[in-house]
Structure 1
Amino acid sequence: METVDAIVVGAGHNGLVAANLLADAGWTVRVLEATPHPGGAVRSGFVTAPGYLSDLFSSFYPLGYASPVMRALRLEEQGLSWRHAPDVLTHLLPDGRAATINRDLDRTMASMEQFAPGDGERWRHAYDDWKSVSGRMLDTLFTPFPPVTSGLGLVRDLRVSGALRLARRLLLSVRELGSELFRGEGATLALAGCALHTDLSPEQAGSGVYGWLLAMLGQEFGWPVPTGGAQEITSALVNRLTARGGEIVYQAPVERILVARGRAMGVRTTDGRDWRARRAVIADVPAPALYLDLVGERWLPPRLVEDLAHFRWDGATLKVDWAVQSAVPWTNPAASGAGTVHLGADLNDLTRYAAQIATDELPPKPFLLLGQMTTADPAHSPAGTESMWAYTHLPHRKSWSADEISEHVERMETVIEDHAPGFRSAVVGRNVFSPTDLENENPSLVGGALGGGTSAAFQQLFLRPIPGLGRSDTPVDRLFLGSASAHPGGGVHGAPGANAARAALARDRAVTGDLYRALITGANRAIYG
């Protein structure tokens, strides 16, 4: 088997981003993918009814659209284009009212003003605050930790006092942030619903920044979808890579990283074949799988192995896709034009929902994140119909019974029916992905966890995936972690893959490998003892 410069384990979007950047640098690259398909959680398919296209896992992509990593790849040259729903998102309250974000700032302001006089202008102020830092924030978020250049630029722009106020805002819970910024519940719920895209509760420190980030990205960029489905992102990445000589081998699950004298030399697949790499191995797999399964304790500092015992997954996910033979019959027409609908909860309901999951209970009234794909992109189903999905979080467990899943799907549909009477009778096809199904489809979605590990503050930045440098470098020379388990975490933005590729290139450019290894060894000793 021909030796290549780099082997990438996993053809998820992060693995494909890493492979593309290495190919851009002139490296020969081979990607080994365990399943028959590229893309990981960025895939589409017909799973409900003929003519109804579903985005199987991830869907709307504000982070991908805004990401400087993805933009630099110029995927539009590979045919990728974007579409927007009329409204970015609508949060439907239990009493039927709606808070809506639209890319037109005045329309968003008018929606928020309905909940409290002055909240429209307060939303404008919150957006102005975002616009003043958005460029630096995105650069900071999507570059390796510590983000020295962008971080210093942010401090320079805001001055010390402004930077400290921003740092405080980033630590607030979304409940506290909403109460400081707004007077009515509509705008606060718009942030809180966005925060619940993670596994954080409205009361947790740091949940505010996720709500603020996603809501303000929606205001600035919208939450777009690829024309023709999520698969188009993957297809663009694959086409770009192969045009540069990169190779993808499917149904080639890796069982071992080959290590000699502390250095990654390649990988072994489950069929017994050894695949050699001259310069680097990049792993787009969860951190526990890389370190404990593929590398093994022999090559790891004991403290790192101990820390991995405290690695925390994000919550499990139950996702349902429906083929609806008509438009969804929403009681409040504000939901009709929204690509994404949050429904089933006010702020206190969101807190109860998160608490039930934290205590290993199934919420009797689940909070739903729902996508109307045809509303965003008419290519998803015939005119006058809707290809729709919804997901909800569950406790992270090892297994689920069929009855538990079936009963919870019934609860989900009841929530939708409450807001859209007649929905059930319009459904002509349905597909259910339980947490187990999600992992079977994509082994990186362990237990149905979508984020590669919790978004809680104790597992972010230099603490992700465990206390350390917060970078893609590992204790094994020439081995790099390039999955959502690495900084900055989950979402389709390509940053973990890009950071791993940059680290591999930096290691290769080092004056000598011995110098680079000495630096990494010194850092490991300082961290792990």
Structure 2
Amino acid sequence: MTLRTVDAVVIGAGHNGLVAAAALADAGWDVVILEAGTEPGGAVRSAELIPGFDMDLFSAFYPLGAASPVMTSLDLENHGLRWSRSPTVYGHARSSRDESAPVVHNDVADTAAALAEYDRRDGDAWFDLFDQWTKIRKPMLDAFFGPFPPVRAAASLARTLGAADTLRFGRFMALPARVMAHELFRSEAARCLLLGNAMHGDAPSDAPVSGAMGYLLTMLAQDVGYPVPTGGASKLADALVSRAGKAELCCGSPVDRIDVTDGRASAVHTKGGDTVFVRRAVIADVSAPMLYGSLLPADAVPRRVHEDLRNFEWDTPVVKVNYALDRPIPWRSTSLSGAGTVHLGADDDGLVRWLTDLTTGVLPDRPFMLFGQMTTADASRSPDGTESAWAYTHLPRGVTDDASADTVADRVREVLEEHAPGFSGSIIAEVVQRPSDLMAENGNLYGGAVNGGTAQLQQQLIFRPTPGLGRSETVVEGLFLGSSSAHPGGGVHGAAGMNAARAALGQQGPLGRIRKKVTSSLLELVTRDREEP
């Protein structure tokens, strides 16, 4: 057993925890990172699951990481990170009969020209959409990834667009994905490019604001592409560890509990018996249910927060199938051969049917999936002439058993065979990651949920993770939530970790004490127990 005292403890060495540690270390704080696993990275890790084939275990493509102001500010290229990109960014096969699947090219003119072949008006619409994006890119990214509320970013956006266009853009961002796609484009091909990206979240395509995810990922695809770390996802984690500098990383140190003294986080205890006393802050890169339900004393959390957490909603469980293939994939639509990311299994209407299955607890007969051609994106991932690939899809909400996961994995292979005749014969080996496997590897991925909680409107902004301020500060003084359960949610962008670190730093000094008092008063106002009649 060891006893020590530091300025800050970061619980969890996922990418958000490492970003937070880097920011605190940059400010001169003495920081210890306590990681339960044997290596850092959280959901940003890779391994040779099959000899000779490097495979990303969780996240794989990083448009958010390449564009996020947080990640770009860390200058990770000077810490060994190198990005690789596929010849084309992504594509969407509308059905197994699709022989001309639409794709996004690396050059906007090429994408527009390709879409014009489906409908001339869609080429013009793509140009117009991307032209607007280039004008509002900075305030939009600042709004998405900065702390809530994004006052400065919103003001900058309004100045750029003007009052009339700001009002209409606000309506546009509130649209359901299906409505947004139909308002923007005339052809199903162009619509599917946006709709497939909207499915990276777990909001139904007819839900308000579900179009925002599709819009963001589609514009980033044309802007920065869908890059991958050269050599595997762990190379990104390695760069973040290097960037964290003097912060001390302790792997194999699962946290047992957080002490709260006089309303303040005062110490962190590991299951191995070590105790780290804290002078300034604890930043938790763990899920909200784990933080409030397991790590904190029950009496340190208001009853209303416990009640709110009973309504906490996880995102839909994930099934991931990793493939080692002895040849490139024989797509029926040759346009998909150069795409690092492929969406397939459903067209516009098919996505509605797939989402209905997930909502009603039915295992989809034809799963919609995200498919990654990793060797196409990064030649170092497997031997020449082969392909390291994976498919990623969802189970119905609350369905996490291994048998259901295996059933869906079999159906994934059937869909792939329909889109690429001969695919099954090219499989050297496959490894299925079920919800139980994902959670065993990373406790934050509860039930195979990878987003830290649903991305639907009822659990975003001031409702994330529970009704409150939408900020990283918690009801315990000196304790900050810096995981994907906090605003702005899932994805490898580092914003939750950086927002937590900046909030902790912002509470120092005379102005910081005032800021802390105001925030604490507001938190007390929105979390105090309801009065008994």
Q: Which band: TM-score by shorter chain?
A: over 0.9
Q: How does 1:96-495 map to 2 (within 5 A)?
A: 96=98, 97-241=100-244, 244-397=245-398, 399-401=400-402, 403-495=403-495
Task: Report the CA distance between 1:397 and its aligned residue.
Answer: 2.4
Q: Matched residue of 1:47: which SS?
A: strand
The question of whether the paired residues in 2 share the 8 Å contact of 1:317 and 1:450 is answered with: yes
**Amino acid of the structure 2 residue aligned with 1:441:** E
2:511 equivalent to 1:526: no
After superposing the two structures, state which structure 1 stretch, 162-171 or 6-15, moved more: 162-171
Cα distance between partner residues in 2 of 1:417 and 1:103: 28
Q: Matched residue of 1:2: which SS?
A: strand
TM-score, L = length of structure 1: 0.97
Cα distance between partner residues in 1 of 2:425 and 2:510: 64
Q: Matched residue of 2:49: which SS?
A: coil
**Amino acid of the structure 2 residue aligned with 1:173:** P
The question of whether the paired residues in 1 share the 8 Å contact of 2:317 and 2:400 is answered with: no
Cα distance between partner residues in 1 of 2:421 and 2:153: 49
Q: Matched residue of 1:213: which SS?
A: helix
Cα distance between partner residues in 2 of 1:230 and 1:395: 27
Q: Matched residue of 1:450: which SS?
A: coil
After superposing the two structures, state which structure 1 stretch, 266-275 or 500-509, moved more: 266-275
The question of whether the paired residues in 2 share the 8 Å contact of 1:323 and 1:388 is answered with: yes
Cα distance between partner residues in 1 of 2:504 and 2:426: 52
The question of whether the paired residues in 1 share the 8 Å contact of 2:91 and 2:336 is answered with: yes
Cα distance between partner residues in 1 of 2:223 and 2:78: 24
Q: Matched residue of 1:395: which SS?
A: coil
The question of whether the paired residues in 1 share the 8 Å contact of 2:25 and 2:31 is answered with: yes
Gaps of 5+ in 2: 529-533
Task: Report the CA distance between 1:115 and its aligned residue.
Answer: 2.3
Cα distance between partner residues in 1 of 2:386 and 2:12: 36
Deviation readout 1:22-54 (Å, 9 max, x if unpaired): 000000110000111100000010112x11100
Deviation readout 1:410-458 (Å, 9 max, x if unpaired): 1000000001111111110111100110011111111111110111111
**Amino acid of the structure 2 residue aligned with 1:267:** V
The question of whether the paired residues in 2 share the 8 Å contact of 1:313 and 1:453 is answered with: yes
Tell me which residue corresponds to 2:531: none
Deviation readout 1:156-190 (Å, 9 max, x if unpaired): 11122211111111110111001111111111100
**Amino acid of the structure 1 residue aligned with 2:30:** T
The question of whether the paired residues in 1 share the 8 Å contact of 2:474 and 2:480 is answered with: yes
Cα distance between partner residues in 2 of 1:164 and 1:467: 26
The question of whether the paired residues in 1 share the 8 Å contact of 2:400 and 2:448 is answered with: no
Cα distance between partner residues in 1 of 2:37 and 2:505: 28
Cα distance between partner residues in 1 of 2:383 and 2:132: 41
**Amino acid of the structure 2 residue aligned with 1:70:** M
**Amino acid of the structure 2 residue aligned with 1:253:** P
Cα distance between partner residues in 2 of 1:335 and 1:119: 20
2:7 equivalent to 1:8: no
After superposing the two structures, state which structure 1 stretch, 69-78 or 120-129, moved more: 120-129
RMSD: 1.3
Q: Matched residue of 1:129: which SS?
A: helix
After superposing the two structures, state which structure 1 stretch, 459-468 or 215-224, moved more: 459-468
**Amino acid of the structure 2 residue aligned with 1:354:** L
The question of whether the paired residues in 2 share the 8 Å contact of 1:13 and 1:39 is answered with: yes
TM-score, L = length of structure 2: 0.96
Task: Report the CA distance between 1:85 and its aligned residue.
Answer: 0.2
Deviation readout 1:90-137 (Å, 9 max, x if unpaired): 101113131111121122112222322321111111111222211110
Task: Report the CA distance between 1:510 and its aligned residue.
Answer: 4.1
The question of whether the paired residues in 2 share the 8 Å contact of 1:472 and 1:481 is answered with: yes
Cα distance between partner residues in 1 of 2:400 and 2:354: 21
Cα distance between partner residues in 2 of 1:301 and 1:158: 43
Identity of aligned residues (%): 48
Equivalent pairs counted in the alignment come to 524
Tell me which residue corresponds to 1:63: 64
Distance 1:512 1:433, change over 3 A: closer
